[in-house]
Amino acid sequence: MRLAGKTAYLLFLFMAILIPLYAEESPGEELALNDQFFFIEELFLLESLFIFDGDFPLAELLMDEEALGEAIPPEEETLLADYPEDSFLFEAPPLIIEAPAFELRSFYTIFPGLSWRQRIWAESEEGLRYYFSSDEPPMIVPNPDLEIDLLGSIMNANPSHLIEALVVVPYNERELDLLDIYNALGRISRIKDYPFYRDGDNFYIFTESTRIESSRNRRAIPDPLPADTLPFSETMYLRLNEIHIGNLFLQGDISVSTHGITYSMTNFTDIRYFLFPVMRAGRFATILYLEPVREGMLIYSMSGFYLPGFIANRVNLTPNINRRIEIFLSWITHGLRIQERALAGH
């Protein structure tokens, strides 16, 4: 209260001197005078916002030049002398913005309904697989509260057959993050390097895998260099040359969420099997959801395709499509291992 009383007294003396002078110089300018009173009222209001520890004689310090000189250390006085009296020196602290860190979720939190045996399969090298038709329920169901609904997106294409897969790839060198996933998905040219395994032998289905400029301009373009930043979304176009189908043209869409990345692939041209058209454009889709979890990298996949009844009754394409999904999973897994080794200094 001592500080407030002295400050109010000084302001009162100031106004007692200022108001008569102001009235002599500018008679009749009541509006400007009211502005001056408003300014003084603001000072009284702002004074209550400052809190000082102890009885700090601010009024005496402002009126006493000797005290002011004693309050400034000699080295700071030298620095202030280098600047004009009417200058104002302000040095702001550096602004540091940290991205929020999210705690890794558990694999069991995302898929709480799996049995003990299903969890073992999911954490094995082969992973958990299940084939079913559109009128049957899925076996791999994520927690509905987490809004990871791959089945709903696949059903928009009205598939007749579906394949779901789930695998948890353990960490080796270090924990992986979303940027590692994005860079692993970007190595399209490496898809052709991965076979599927049957009876102990390797079978390479894709003879070529490359990006193309767009759905209309199908000129091959190289993969980009590994990225340093993560986009919110991205669309790319792919051409995979398959030994039976020939050229398979796909549109790939990447979307990033808080905990994971969703990568969907859809054919934008008809698919032929031994020169016979078996699937129209947009009737095949594969969606991959990848999320770093405590146990490793979670890869959850849902694929759907439509086959007319007369073809489905004569040709069982489910094993063939499953082998291609196996190749995609191997491609992603090895791409993640490349990210581990690259950032671990190997």
Which of 3.30.365.10, 3.40.30.10, 3.30.530.20, 3.40.50.620 would CATH assign to domain 109-343?
3.30.530.20
- Residue 322: per-residue pLDDT: 83
pLDDT at position 324: 86
For the chain, counts of helices (H) and of strands (E) = 11, 13
> Tell me: the pLDDT tens digits for 96-112?
333 345 689 999 999 99
The pLDDT value recorded for residue 188 is 96
Total residues found in the chain within this entry: 346
pLDDT per position in the chain (346 positions), as tens?
Answer: 444 454 444 544 444 444 444 444 444 444 343 444 333 344 334 344 334 344 444 444 344 444 444 444 444 444 434 444 444 444 444 443 333 456 899 999 999 999 999 999 999 988 999 999 889 999 999 999 999 999 999 998 889 989 999 999 999 878 899 999 999 999 999 999 999 877 778 889 999 999 999 999 999 999 999 999 999 999 999 999 988 788 999 999 999 999 999 999 999 998 877 777 778 888 899 999 999 999 999 999 999 988 777 666 666 667 777 888 889 999 999 999 998 887 666 5
Instruction: Name the pTM for this structure.
Output: 0.69
Predicted pLDDT of residue 272: 79
Q: What is the pLDDT of residue 153?
A: 92
Q: Where are the domains of the chain?
A: 2-81, 109-343
What pLDDT sits at residue 221? 97
With a CB cutoff of 8 Å and minimum separation 6, the contacts of 207 are 192, 241, 242, 243
pLDDT at residue 278 in the model? 76
